[in-house]
Amino acid sequence: MTGSTPQQDLDQPHDLVGVGIGPFNLSLAALAHGVPGGGLAATFYEQRPAFQWHPGLLIEGATLQVPFLADLVTLADPTSPWTFLNYLKSRERLFPFYFAEKFHIQRAEYDAYCRWVSERLPGLHFGHQVDSVRWNPERRLFEVDFTQVDPEGEAEALGRAYTRNVVLGVGTEPYVPEPLKPLSDAPGVPVFHSADYLTHRETLLAAGHVTVIGSGQSGAEVFLDLLRARPAGAERIHWLARTEAFAPMEYSKLGLEHFTPDYTRYFHALPEPVRGDLVPRQWQLHKGIDADTIAAIHDELYRRTLHGGWPDAVLTPGVRVRTAGRVATTQVELHLEHLQQGTRSRLTTDAVVLATGYRERPVDRMLAGLDPYLRHDSAGRARVDERYRLVLDPSVTGSVFVQNAEKHTHGVGAPDLGLAAWRSATILNAVSGKEPYPLPRRTAFTSFGLETREAPSIPAQERKLTPLTQNV
């Protein structure tokens, strides 16, 4: 839904205003629409002209790393009209999907499904950039100021909405390591983040030599796509990574229980220093490579040895980029260090793809008006309670919820699509003060911590040791 917001809608306080329309806030909007009793008065703003989900990485054949049941709503409400299966039904594709027997769907199909939902849900306003969120103590409401923009991003009108609650779902932004930032920012230099891979794919295929940096799923998919598209014996690709190996993602059934509400609750209850130490050590839960992708890469490399010789592809883990610069006008020189050997070398390449991940999009400027009310942890990060609410001064009677900005408080499941519907339901239960979406009490076979019940006191006269053997 696009276009201007009627003034009467702005003056009437909302139950909920969502900032950003990615998969997580789209999940929230879909479930809010289904709350019994006519739903909640909810509206969502997104500065982009339409829904998009990682368009630069919709590589042909790339699949989601979660099953199709991890759609926007199913794990909270499988009867919702916004399920992936209902999307297939509306497209008359249920039987083809049934016979395809695909538990993991392609990314492009997930993107199409989300766009189908975004084009039909009421209360979604694209082309609206939220500028600030403030607390109005007199009205006991949040003020959300926004700018309506045209498809080119030019301002057309200003507006303000009032709401009892706010949900921040602004997503993440591509992360570029400091040594490569000057080159990435310079015009005309062939250093691209993987988020823009498809935009620059033809340039990369035409380059004499390409270097991919990053050992996660995106790096693996980019490397595989380039490998398949370049001629045998003249591939001329380097794949570098800081991790000690091109390692598979943890995908065992019990390992996946780290992406359950049970683990999220356990993690949130841990002391702050323990949480901070734990997340980096769990990188293989969310930064590893899908085993099928690793197998496909090896199969493609092996196929190129069938007639003798080896492919001109170098795969080197355990390497960091110390510095980088331009050589002449068209090439890039990477200064490398091997972390285990302690050795250094230089690599000259014609193009670089940075599969270096994402970071939470900063919202400091948007929330500047709330700064006096915000509570922070010892590292200066926003404190987030168990129900995904920013911890605010008690004088603020409304709530500000966050989606995918709480890894430091809720663990590795924060960016996982499989927890989207459950988190949305948790937020809506808190907003409504009821339980429109009953949630399961237990979701994992693993008990992640010891129960903390106090041991019963034993009277002194009963504290006797029982012998293990009886002397005769």
How far is the C-alpha of 220 from the C-alpha of 222, rounded, in Å? 6
Name 33's Cβ contacts closer than 8 Å, sequence gap at least 6. Answer: 39, 42, 82, 121, 122, 123
Q: Give the SS3 label for residue 183.
A: helix
Name 260's Cβ contacts closer than 8 Å, sequence gap at least 6. Answer: 413, 419, 443, 444
Please compute the mean of the pLDDT values over residues 120-132 and round it to a whole number.
97
HEC string for 203-239: HHHHCCCEEEECCCHHHHHHHHHHHHHCCCCCCCEEE
Give the pLDDT confidence score for residue 467 in this predicted structure. 46
Give the pLDDT confidence score for residue 454 in this predicted structure. 55
Task: Say if residues 467 and 284 touch (Cβ distance below 8 Å).
Answer: no
Rg (CA), the chain: 26
Give the pLDDT confidence score for residue 286 in this predicted structure. 87
User: pLDDT at residue 44 above 60?
Assistant: yes
- Residues of the chain with pLDDT > 70, as a percent, come to 93
According to DSSP, the residues that pair with 134 across neighbouring strands are 143
Q: How confident is the model at residue 6 (pLDDT cuts 50, 70, 90)?
A: low
In eight-state DSSP terms, residue 384 is B
For 381, other C-beta atoms within 10 Å of its C-beta total: 16
Give the pLDDT confidence score for residue 53 in this predicted structure. 96
Give the pLDDT confidence score for residue 457 in this predicted structure. 57
pLDDT in tens, 338-377: 999 999 999 999 999 999 999 999 999 999 999 999 999 9
Q: Give the SS3 label for residue 96.
A: helix
Please compute the mean of the pLDDT values over residues 133-157 and round it to a whole number.
95
pLDDT in tens, 226-253: 999 999 989 999 999 999 999 999 999 9
User: pLDDT at residue 89 above 70?
Assistant: yes
Task: Say if residues 276 and 204 touch (Cβ distance below 8 Å).
Answer: no
Q: Give the SS3 label for residue 252.
A: coil
Could you tell me the CA-to-CA distances from 330 to 80, 104, 325 in Å, in that order? 53, 40, 11
How far is the C-alpha of 212 from the C-alpha of 356, rounded, in Å? 10
Q: Give the SS3 label for residue 354.
A: strand
Give the pLDDT confidence score for residue 468 in this predicted structure. 44
Give the pLDDT confidence score for residue 471 in this predicted structure. 42
Give the pLDDT confidence score for residue 292 in this predicted structure. 95
pLDDT in tens, 413-447: 999 999 999 999 999 999 999 899 999 999 999 99
How far is the C-alpha of 52 from the C-alpha of 55, rounded, in Å? 6
Please compute the mean of the pLDDT values over residues 317-340 and round it to a whole number.
94
Q: Give the SS3 label for residue 69.
A: coil
Could you tell me the CA-to-CA distances from 143 to 53, 139, 149, 291 in Å, in that order? 28, 10, 19, 47
Kindly provide the residue ranges of all beta strands, DSSP E only, lying in 204-330, ordered along the sequence.
Answer: 210-213, 237-240, 313-316, 319-327
Q: Give the SS3 label for residue 33.
A: helix
Q: Give the SS3 label for residue 5.
A: coil
- Range list of H helices, 308-413: 407-410
User: pLDDT at residue 470 above 50?
Assistant: no
In eight-state DSSP terms, residue 350 is S
HEC string for 9-24: HHHCCECEEEECCCHH
Please compute the mean of the pLDDT values over residues 306-326 and round it to a whole number.
95
Which carries the bigger pLDDT value, residue 309 or residue 239?
Answer: 239
- Residues of the chain with pLDDT > 90, as a percent, come to 87
Identify residue 262 by its one-letter amino acid code.
D
User: pLDDT at residue 91 above 80?
Assistant: yes
Residue closest to 407 by CA, chosen among 291, 255, 285: 285
Give the pLDDT confidence score for residue 329 in this predicted structure. 78
Give the pLDDT confidence score for residue 36 in this predicted structure. 79
Which carries the bigger pLDDT value, residue 208 or residue 459?
Answer: 208
Could you tell me the CA-to-CA distances from 280 to 274, 287, 359, 385, 388 in Å, in that order? 11, 10, 14, 21, 21
Please compute the mean of the pLDDT values over residues 28-51 and round it to a whole number.
92
How far is the C-alpha of 167 from the C-alpha of 404, rounded, in Å? 11
Identify residue 155 by its one-letter amino acid code.
A
Give the pLDDT confidence score for residue 453 in this predicted structure. 56
User: pLDDT at residue 264 above 90?
Assistant: yes
Please compute the mean of the pLDDT values over residues 319-345 and round it to a whole number.
94
Give the pLDDT confidence score for residue 4 in this predicted structure. 58
Give the pLDDT confidence score for residue 102 in this predicted structure. 94
Give the pLDDT confidence score for residue 45 in this predicted structure. 98
User: pLDDT at residue 97 above 60?
Assistant: yes
Give the pLDDT confidence score for residue 336 in this predicted structure. 98
Q: How confident is the model at residue 152 (pLDDT cuts 50, 70, 90)?
A: confident
Give the pLDDT confidence score for residue 7 in this predicted structure. 52
User: pLDDT at residue 472 above 80?
Assistant: no
User: pLDDT at residue 9 above 70?
Assistant: no
How far is the C-alpha of 24 from the C-alpha of 207, rounded, in Å? 37
Please compute the mean of the pLDDT values over residues 168-192 and round it to a whole number.
94
Average pLDDT in the chain: 93
Q: How confident is the model at residue 410 (pLDDT cuts 50, 70, 90)?
A: very high
Please compute the mean of the pLDDT values over residues 42-67 and round it to a whole number.
96
Task: Say if residues 84 and 103 touch (Cβ distance below 8 Å).
Answer: no
Q: Give helix then strand counts, H and E, for the chain.
A: 14, 18
For 59, other C-beta atoms within 10 Å of its C-beta total: 18
Of 20-24, 49-53, 318-322, 447-451, least confident by mean pLDDT is 447-451
Give the pLDDT confidence score for residue 469 in this predicted structure. 42
